[in-house]
Structure 1
Amino acid sequence: MAGWPVVARLPGALAQSSRPVTIIVPYAAGGPTDTLARILAQRISVGLGQNVLIENVPGASGSIGVGRVARASPDGTTLSIGNVGSHVFNGAIYSLPYDLLNDLKPVALVASNAQLLLGKPGIPATTLEELITWIKAQPRAILIGTGGPGSAAHLSGVYLEQHLKISATMVPFRGTGPALQALMAEQIDILFDQVSNALPQVRAKTIKAYAVTAKNPSSVAPDIPTTDAAGLPGFYVAVWHGLWVPKDTRASVIASLNSAVVDALADSTVRARLAELGQDIPAPDQQTPQALGSFQKAEMEKWWPIIKAANIKPE
């Protein structure tokens, strides 16, 4: 760390302030969003020349923590890190006291983790096409595990149900960890989970992986085919993460924050740590505030109709 240069400093009042920069994680400590935030914070602090702290504000599927940032002072010292759940899905599931597009401004897209389409070990299918045939041949609705209503695993399951025009029963768990255990025990048939979380069990052959839900193979699991290659073209689901600030934050402050994030994502140590977690770093032209804003809107246009058609409600 001692050799890392200071490449960006926040302008104006913040540059003269003793207040640290705080990244609000809208989930509990120890989860994937928290881990990602802590890796980034260490490196961003060097770029900004200021301490960067992590504060966990869990609750209501991330909506409480995001709301804290939406109401924060727009001086660049409070950032929201979140994912497709907190900054896309929640807008269609909850009656939020803030607007995800208008009360927050994007800073940067930071990483993306594709999902794996997983099956219980007893399924005879060895390929995705065989799995689809097996699913459609079942005399009952297949059981798809979820990490709770509105989770990425839940929305992926609903998307599969709609995509294949099948009958499925969503089985909620308190997170994808317990759902993964249920899959191994053959209490459910199908589960979608992030590459970083499920890959150890796939390698141990306690579950089956049929495809990566992305256009490109996973860097940590290149042997698992994409949905395009395996027979389910266009079926893409990723748990991506980004950073946002309150809506009235000055453009110059956002530019400096973005510069520090871009520098962090270019650092070899950060890239190695994210690669270990199965996180894919976006291309440089996708790391701009404008790119995140456009991507977030496109994800809303894709997922909100699916959520509303499935009548997904908060617990």
Structure 2
Amino acid sequence: MLAVLAAGSAFTSVSAFAQDYPTQPITIVVPFSAGGPTDTVTRLVAAAMSEDLGQQVVVQNVGGAGGTLGAGQVAAANPDGYTLLLHHIGMSTAPALYASLPFDPMKDFEPIGLVTEVPMTIVARKDFQPETLEDLIAYVKENGENVTYANAGIGAASQLCGLLFMDALDVKMTEVPYQGTGPAMTDLLGGQIDMMCDQTTNTTSQIKAGEIKAYAVTTPERIAVLPDVPTLAEGGLENFNLAIWHGLYAPAGTDKAIIERLTKSLQTALADENVGNSFAELGTYPVPADQATPEALAQKLEGQIGLWGEVIKAAGVSAQ
């Protein structure tokens, strides 16, 4: 009887806690360095959610181990709604890349909703020899490992894009890993490396300013913010289609009422005109409300784990 009463009391206190939520600042962990594309997306969403929730939403960068360090930190956090994770496609690639993970993507998180799907761009230092996409393809095929290709490390979106690009051309370039695409972009701007593939959220401003060369976007159609940049399909790589999706998560066990409140806040943030305009300037868009839901994110994650597991296995890539 005492156990039943205790359980009932605990349920009442949790429910009351959920009704009052939030009563203090919320932290969204980005499992990558500051200045990268996921960080940019998160800060825009966090600002809009802060306004809706009436509490400050703070962004904390916890980079390292291909995003698994930050994700593991959130998986182990108190499931009280005050520590969240905004992660990209790496949530679905980690199980295939790492023999041992500090978390299970499907079991250790409560999905809140999808956020955005970001196209990627094939870019290079501004003085790189090839002028067109066709020139680039021919140059890479001819020079192979003499071409340096930056990425943000094993499992990063930039590395996955590079793997698909090299596989499509049946060629191997020299990969140069960085601790995030922010520092990789710095070296690209400085001419220390030849190429990289990165999300439009991290390349659009530099492309428009003429600071780097843009050869292609990785989506089936050209994008409005970069109308003069062709698709890879226009260069003959017809089956190349890659957009980097982002999702918001809470630790497993977070009260359902808190998840519902966070989902509603995410939907409100994504419907905000300033967020939409900022995303558009970066070459992306907020997902519609019916995709900013726990159900849509869970379905996306499960499907992508299966898809990328096959791709990574075929490529023979491992983080260990």
Q: Same fold (TM over 0.5)?
A: yes
- Which of 47, 68, 75 lines up with 1:42 in the alignment? 47
In structure 1, how many angstroms separate the alpha carbons of the residues matched to 2:207 and 2:20?
50
Q: Is the 8 A contact 1:115 1:192 kept in 2?
A: yes
What residue in structure 2 maps to residue 13 of structure 1? 17
Q: TM-score under structure 2 normalisation?
A: 0.81
Identical aligned residues as a percent:
39
How far apart are 1:100 and its partner, in Å? 0.8
In structure 2, how many angstroms separate the alpha carbons of the residues matched to 1:204 and 1:45?
32
User: What code does the residue aligned with 2:151 have?
Assistant: T
User: What code does the residue aligned with 2:28 have?
Assistant: I
| Secondary structure in structure 2 of the residue aligned to 1:118 | strand
User: What code does the residue aligned with 1:295 have?
Assistant: K
Q: Is it true that 1:161 corresponds to 2:166 in the alignment?
A: yes
- Which of 190, 198, 202 lines up with 2:203 in the alignment? 198
* Residues 1:157 and 1:258: Cα distance change in structure 2 (over 3 Å): same
Quick check: 155-164 or 256-265, which moved more? 155-164
| Secondary structure in structure 2 of the residue aligned to 1:286 | coil
* Residues 1:76 and 1:213: Cα distance change in structure 2 (over 3 Å): same
How many residue pairs were aligned? 305
How far apart are 1:181 and its partner, in Å? 5.2
Q: Is the 8 A contact 2:64 2:179 kept in 1?
A: no
* Residues 1:144 and 1:252: Cα distance change in structure 2 (over 3 Å): same
* Residues 1:140 and 1:49: Cα distance change in structure 2 (over 3 Å): closer
Structure 1: give runs of 5+ residues left out of the alignment.
1-9
Q: Is it true that 1:289 corresponds to 2:300 in the alignment?
A: no
What are the superposed Cα offsets for residues 229-279 of structure 1, whole Å, 9 maximum, x if unpaired? 443223122333210112223433322211111111111122223333333
Q: TM-score under structure 1 normalisation?
A: 0.83
* Residues 1:260 and 1:192: Cα distance change in structure 2 (over 3 Å): same
* Residues 1:242 and 1:11: Cα distance change in structure 2 (over 3 Å): farther
What residue in structure 1 maps to residue 4 of structure 2? none
* Residues 1:161 and 1:27: Cα distance change in structure 2 (over 3 Å): closer
User: What code does the residue aligned with 1:103 have?
Assistant: D
- Which of 92, 96, 113 lines up with 1:88 in the alignment? 92
How far apart are 1:84 and its partner, in Å? 1.6
User: What code does the residue aligned with 2:180 have?
Assistant: G
- Which of 211, 221, 230 lines up with 1:225 in the alignment? 230
In structure 2, how many angstroms separate the alpha carbons of the residues matched to 1:122 and 1:305?
37
What residue in structure 2 maps to residue 75 of structure 1? 80
What are the superposed Cα offsets for residues 144-187 of structure 1, whole Å, 9 maximum, x if unpaired? 22222332222211111222222333222343345445556665
In structure 1, how many angstroms separate the alpha carbons of the residues matched to 2:212 and 2:20?
54
What residue in structure 2 maps to residue 114 of structure 1? 119
Quick check: 180-189 or 193-202, which moved more? 180-189
How far apart are 1:188 and its partner, in Å? 4.4
Q: Is the 8 A contact 1:127 1:230 kept in 2?
A: no
What residue in structure 2 maps to residue 208 of structure 1? 213
| Secondary structure in structure 2 of the residue aligned to 1:167 | coil
In structure 2, how many angstroms separate the alpha carbons of the residues matched to 1:43 and 1:190?
34
User: What code does the residue aligned with 1:193 have?
Assistant: D
User: What code does the residue aligned with 2:116 have?
Assistant: A
- Which of 28, 32, 50 lines up with 1:27 in the alignment? 32
In structure 2, how many angstroms separate the alpha carbons of the residues matched to 1:92 and 1:56?
24
User: What code does the residue aligned with 2:134 have?
Assistant: E
What residue in structure 2 maps to residue 302 of structure 1? 307
- Which of 256, 259, 277 lines up with 1:254 in the alignment? 259
Structure 2: give runs of 5+ residues left out of the alignment.
1-13
What residue in structure 1 maps to residue 282 of structure 2? 277
User: What code does the residue aligned with 1:92 have?
Assistant: A
In structure 1, how many angstroms separate the alpha carbons of the residues matched to 2:44 and 2:126?
34
